[in-house]
Structures are given as structure tokens and as C-alpha cells.
Amino acid sequence: MNTNGNSQTEKGGGPRKGRNRNRNRNNRNSQGAKPNTTDLVDGGEGKGHSKKRDSATLSNANGNTETSKRICRTYAKTGACKWGEKCRFDHVGGEHHHPSSEKPEQETTTPTEDDAPVTNKAHISSKKFADLSISAPIKRSLAEVFKYECMTVVQAETLPVILRGTDVLAKAKTGTGKTLGFLIPAIELMCKKPSNSRSIPCLVLSPTRELAMQISKEAVSLSKFLPDVRVVTCVGGTNINRDKTNLKSSTQILVSTPGRLLDHLANTDGLGNRLGDLKTLIFDEADQLLDMGFRPDIERILKFLEPSIGTRQTLLFSATVPDSVNEIAKKSLRSTFEFIDTVGESEEQTHMHVKQELVVVPQANVATALEAILARETGSPAYKVIVFFTTARLTGFMADLFNAVKTKTGYDVLQIHSRMSQPARKRCSDKFRTAKQAVLFSSDVSARGMDYPNVSFVLQVGLTERAQYIHRLGRTARAGKRGQGCLLLTPYEEHHMMKVLNDMPIEKTRLELPDNSVSAMGEAMSMVANDKDLRVSASAAYRAWIGYYNAHTKKLRWDKRDLVEYGNQWALEVGLDELPTFEKKTVGKMGLKGVPGLVIEARNNTAGGRR
């Protein structure tokens, strides 16, 4: 069997007839395969499974057809099938696929959320999952699917308390096993106290689509031997009608981002009532939920969930516990909740021990400096580098710029940001996660929650907040592994950033820059004015640059004229030969009306602007 799932082929629309088909059915039944039910429905889409149309044969690595495997095409396409273990077809492919013949991505016997084996045991405890008072199917998943024996420190400290039914506010860093720390008790409660078929007993709120998908994947794996547990993921950027179709079926675990959940609570009939008997409410990365401006959404969601406040268990997991998290805790947790600090003062200061450097260059040299730093970091045999930018548009433009001259730099640049579609972001995220050598340009969509193993270097470009700086830096040096960080600034950003990071072990270094006339970035920027795609990308990045720094003029000690002057310089320095235009209403909303230097878009003109 080709475990990559790339050899799925359709042979005559279904399995062979006659004795071969009967033999295959008998083989499956003799091996304890899924029952051959006759009234199956195709993944909640309203189509019946057809022996001829809804299964496909699978070829092995040598190209030979394995006629003993019939594949559920719904699962292969969507990663979900409402019939779960009861489906008579094999669940191969799809984003949540965990075939029993394959090892999970993590092949170590000790758990971590990274996709690589743990080489440092600092996060692993001596306590075993087998000693927990949890249901046998969950223990079986932990042993056979995850291949885990011992708990992480976070799991060992939180699971006993949560399994007692206590509300918990847990301070826990990403990458230390906290996802299983809240999923195990939630699924265990379903086993002990089953809800009626229309209720949704568990709701998980996640700040990002990628993290929501990751949580769902772990939930599916953990409930592998509990066929009645069905996981549904609802996130922005995906088809909301497909969500509604999936939610029509029995749902035990709903993983969602706040905005999409509110859409469904307002527009999906009966969802509020189905959450009225909620058994477990989970906030993952609670501090990031609030940092990203979701507080009004969370407060509205809590009002919808008020009927369950006296009976549900609420769990808040957060890397930090600022006042905003404490305020949400007071509104959502019962007064008897317990605070569990799995970070501690010494562990919380891990970022203080990561080697960090500061590079300050004139605005015109930022792209060339970035090229020089990446040339240094990609020179080693194994590297995984994440570069964070201030906006999604700037992330996309810089990725386009580097990829335009990749034959000269010697590497491809992956990109992930909020302007990309969800499938595109997932493909990029998966590719970076599994790569041995890779460079990823990202906006803050990857700053928290997503687990990328073996990140060797984190580079942050431009002005940011202290908390965000630390969260980004936390992508490297995870689970006891080594890593380094760098902050690339312009002179006008240096004063504020060094003020907010004055206690950090950041060493300012000098960087030898190649001349623009011979550098890869010099060549790329010379292409911008005449390359339509680069010009459009640069124009969007310029508008985003103005919008971002407009919100931070006080930190930079700028007035509006300074903002426009520096922004216009940036546009011309990256290769645009004329300034992009702004819509009149946009200028008004940003408070820039009447500021000289901005080019206001004429009616029916979207092509550009003038100097």
C-alpha cells in the first residue's frame, strides 16, 4: 500500500464482481473490518454510498491493485464520513486519515505536539497514561495511534484535576502536549455521561483556522476506537453551507473559530439549543483569542451558552495570563476553578536564553539585509527558517519578490497569511512542517498555536509588540531544542523596540550588505515596475504599510506627514515607478484626509497612480 495516498485510482468504477468481491468481503469480515451496512449515507451530503460510484481501488507501491481495499471517496475528498468506523469502505486519504498500517507522524514513544521525535526529555514526566482512570478505547488510541506511554509534564499536572470535573485555568506553553490535556477529559466525559444524539457535548474555541484543524485532527485520532464520537470543524475561509450540512448530523466535538461560530449561532437553525446541554467548553490559546480582538465575540458566545453555565466544565489554556484572560475566566469559569501553572517563573523565561540578534539598516536596505541573513542561515545542511512580517500583504509581496529570483538565491520561499485561501494555507503549513530544509514567510497567523518541528531560526522584520515578539520567538527552541532569533529594524523603529525589549538578551550586530546592483533583491526590485504581478503585489503591500504604521505613529514619534513621506519612500525603494492610489473613503477612514503625498484614486481608475 502506498501510504502517501497518491496512488488512488478508479478501476471500472468499483470492485470486481463475482467471487473476488465475495472473497474480499469475507477477508474484511474475518479481520474484524467495518460491518457491511446497507443504508449508509455519503458523508452527510445526502448521497448514498454506491458500490460502483463511491469506492475506488488502491494500488500499492509497485502499481499492483489491492482489490481487498475499497475506499470511501467521501472521506478521501473531505477527510470526514458521518459513519466513522461503521462505514463499510476504507477511510484512506483525507486530512484526518490515520491508517492502522502506518505510524503517526510522530514516531517517538513520548508525546509532544511537534511532528518530530523528542530529543530532550525536559517536557516528559514519568507518569503513564495507562495509570489514568480513563476508558479503555482512549487508552488504546494513546498506545496504538499516538504510540505514547508517558505523559508530558503539562498533561501530568492538568489531567488529574480536570478528570475530577473541576473548571481549570491552565498556564501552558504551546508544544507541551496541552491539546491532549483537554481532549482526553472531554472525550472521557462523553463516555461516562453520553448526551442525546442532537446535543453537542464539547465545544473548542481556537484563535486560528490552522490550530482548529490541528485540534480536530488530534480529536479524530484520540476517538479512533469510539465510533459514536464525530468531530466537526467550522472555521472562516471555508464554505459555510458545508458546515451546515456537517452540523445536521450527530456531532460530539465542535471545533471552531469565534467568528464562524457566531455566524452559525445566528444563522444555523437549532445550533444554540444543541449547545444548551454543553458538557465541556474549551478555550485554547485564550490570550491569543483576546489579543486578536475576539473578546466581543467571546462575550457574545458566552451569552449564547448561559443555559449550560451551571452544569458544564470550562477549561482555559493560555501561554500567558494577563488581566484580559483573568476577566474572561471570571465570566466563564465557576468560582471553584483551579489555576494550574505549568510554566513557572524559570520556564516562562525560556526566551531569555535563546540567542537573539538585532540588525538595524536603512529602510532602503531592508530587503537586501533580509537576503543576506537568509543566505547565512540557509547555508547549513539542515535549516527551517520562519520570517515574520508586519502585514499579510507585505508577507505576500516579499515572498513574490524572493521567488522571482529563486534561481539566484538557491531556495524557494513558502508563504502563509490571512489573504490566502484555507486550502492553500494548509498545503503550505503541511509542506513546511514535513520539510527538512525550508524558508517560510508568514504574517502572525503562524505566530501562535501551530506546531512546526525543528525550526532553527526566527527572523522578525519591523515593528511589533513585546508579547508578539516573544510568541514569534517561541516558534524556535521548542521542547528543549536549540534555536536562534533575529530582529531586523529600520532606525526609526529601533528606539521603541529597544525600549519594550530592554530586558531581552539581544545583541546588536553589523551585517555586511551586498550592493543592490549585484544582489538578488536588487535584481528582483528592478523587475517590479514592469512585471504586472509584482507591481500589483507591491501596490497592495504599500497600502498595507501605510495602514499598519498609521496605527503606530505615536510609538515612532511621527505625525501624518512623516507617515506618508516614509511610506512613499518605501514604495519607490521596492521598485514601483509610481505611487499606488487610495480610495477616497479609505483615506478618510485612516484619518489621512488632506495629508500631502497621497494619491487619491480617480473614479474608475484602479491601475495605479502617479509620483
Q: What is the DSSP string of 234-274?
A: E-TTS-HHHHHHHHHS--SEEEE-HHHHHHHHHHSTTHHHH
Q: What is the pTM of this model?
A: 0.54
Among 76-80, 220-224, 350-354, 359-363, name the one with the lowest average pLDDT: 76-80
What are the structural domain ranges in the chain? 8-86, 121-343, 349-515, 527-600
The mean per-residue pLDDT over the stretch 291-314 comes to: 89
Whole-number pLDDT of residue 423 = 84
Q: Strand locations in 395-532, DSSP E? A: 413-416, 437-442, 457-461, 484-489, 506-508
Q: What does the buried/exposed string (b/e) look like for 109-137 if buried means 16 or more CB atoms within 10 Å of the residue's CB?
A: ebbbbbbbebeeeebbbebebeebebbeb
CA triplet 454, 458, 463: central angle to 5 degrees?
155
Cα within 13 Å of Cα(58), Cβ side? 21
pLDDT, tens digit, 9 for 90 and up, residues 427-460: 998 899 899 999 999 987 654 556 688 899 999 9
pLDDT, tens digit, 9 for 90 and up, residues 304-326: 999 998 889 999 999 888 888 89
Check for a shared fold between 121-343 and 349-515: yes
Question: How far does Cα 260 stand from its chain's mean position?
Answer: 16
Mean pLDDT of the chain, nearest integer: 80
CA distances from 488 to 17, 365, 524, 579 (A): 65, 11, 20, 25
Calpha distance 177→149 (Å, rounded): 13
Residues 6+ apart with CB under 8 A from 157: 340, 342
Write out the three cell numbers for 242: 458545508
pLDDT, tens digit, 9 for 90 and up, residues 104-151: 333 233 333 333 333 335 578 899 999 999 999 999 999 999 999 999
Write out the three cell numbers for 563: 507617515
Sign of CA dihedral 546, 490, 472, 426: positive
Quick check: 176 and 153 in contact, CB under 8 A? Answer: yes
| 206 has a pLDDT exceeding 60 | yes
Calpha distance 309→302 (Å, rounded): 9
Nearest to 110 by CA among 122, 131, 124, 120: 124
For 121-343, CATH number?
3.40.50.300
Quick check: 153 and 175 in contact, CB under 8 A? Answer: no
pLDDT band of residue 351 (cuts 50, 70, 90) is: low
Quick check: 391 and 544 in contact, CB under 8 A? Answer: yes
Cα within 13 Å of Cα(500), Cβ side? 14
Q: What does the buried/exposed string (b/e) look like for 38-54 if buried means 16 or more CB atoms within 10 Å of the residue's CB?
A: eebbbbbeeeebeeeeb
Write out the three cell numbers for 97: 486519515
Taking the alpha carbons at both ends of the chain, their separation in whole angstroms is: 61
Calpha distance 194→200 (Å, rounded): 10
Topology of the domain covering 349-515: Rossmann fold (3.40.50)
Whole-number pLDDT of residue 454 = 87
| 68 has a pLDDT exceeding 50 | no
Nearest to 68 by CA among 11, 106, 117, 118: 11
Residues 6+ apart with CB under 8 A from 319: 171, 172, 173, 174, 285, 287, 288, 343, 448, 471, 474
Question: How far does Cα 567 stand from its chain's mean position?
Answer: 31
| Number of neighbours of residue 468 by Cβ within 10 angstroms | 16
DSSP 3-state of 286 = helix
